[in-house]
Amino acid sequence: MKIGFIGLGIMGKPMAKNLIAAGHELVVRDMNAAAVAELTALGATEASSPKEVAEQVELVVTMLPNSPHVQTVALGADSILDGAHEGLAYIDMSSIAPLVSRQVGAALTAKGIPMLDAPVSGGEPKAIDGTLSIMVGGPQALFDTYADVLKVMGASVVRVGEIGAGNIAKLANQVVVALNIAAVSEALVFAQKAGVDPEAVFQAIRGGLAGSTVMEAKAPMMLDRNFKPGFRIALHIKDLTNAIETGHEVGAPVPLTAAILEMMTALKVDGREVEDHSALVRFHEKLADIELGRGEHNS
C-alpha cells in the first residue's frame, strides 16, 4: 500500500520504518531533515507539504505532538484536506484532545476523507519493535480496512468506539501510567529513606499485586538514573492537561491526575521536561532529600 507518514519524531520514525519493513511504500514529511533522510535512505519518498503527501497516497498517517499540529496538518494551508482525492483515508496516531479529533474528523469526512483516531502506548521501545498498544476510534468498516496496517506497528489494536474514542482511551491510559510512575517513585524513595535497598524492595514486590508493566519498565530506569526520554515529561504534561480538560467537559473529576500534573509541572520548572517521565522520581527525591540508587541503604 502507498502510505503517507507525517511526523518522524521519537515515536513516528520507528513506526514509519516498520511500515517500510513490512513492504509498504511511504511518502514522508517532517521538519527534521535528518529524520527524513533516514527514511528516504530506506526507500521512502520525501514530500514538501501535507498536501503533497496526500495527493500521492491512499492513506495518510500522522504522528504529531499535540492538537494544534494535527489541526494545521489536516485542515490548514497546504494540508491533507487540500490534497483530498477519491479513495483517500486518514489515520491520526497522535495523542490529542478527543474533541479536536472529532472536529477534524467531521471536517475531513464532509470532504470525503474518512478518519480514524488511533493513539498509541508503549513508548519508544515498543515503537521500535512494533508492539505498541493502539486504541482506535472511528467507523468499524474503516477500522476493518486498515487494521492490518495498524498491526504492523502494534501488538494490540483495539477499536473502542467512534471517532474520538481512541483518544479518550489514550487519556485513560496516560492517567494510569502517570499514577503508577508516581506510586513507584514514592515507594522506592520511601524504602531508601527508611534504610532499605530500593532495588531489593523492587525485586520483592514486583511479582505481587503491586507489580505492573510500568514498574517493570520504569523502576530500573529510576535505579540507574537513566532518564533518556522514551516518553518526555513535557508530552505527559500535555496528555494530563488534555485529560483534565476533557474531565471538566464531561463532568468526571480527576483529582489524582491533577496532583500528578502539578508534580510534573514542578519538574518542568526545574528544566526536566525533556527527560523521560520516569524522572518523576526526582520530585519525590527532592521532598525526601535523597538520591535514589542501586544498593543504597541509607538516607
The set of catalytic residues is 170
| Residues contacting 94, CB < 8 A, separation 6+ | 7, 62, 63, 64, 65, 66, 69, 70, 119
CA 144 to chain CA centroid, Å, is 23
Which amino acid appears at position 144 of this protein? D
Q: How is residue 3 annotated by DSSP?
A: E
Per-residue DSSP letters for 123-183? HHHHHHHT-EEEEEES-HHHHHHHHHHHHHHEEEEEEEESTTHHHHHHHHHHHHHHHHHHH
- Cross-strand partners of 161: 137
Query: What stretch of H or E contains 61?
Result: strand 59-62
Q: What is the largest distance, in Å, between two alpha-carbon atoms of the chain? A: 67
Which amino acid appears at position 240 of this protein? L
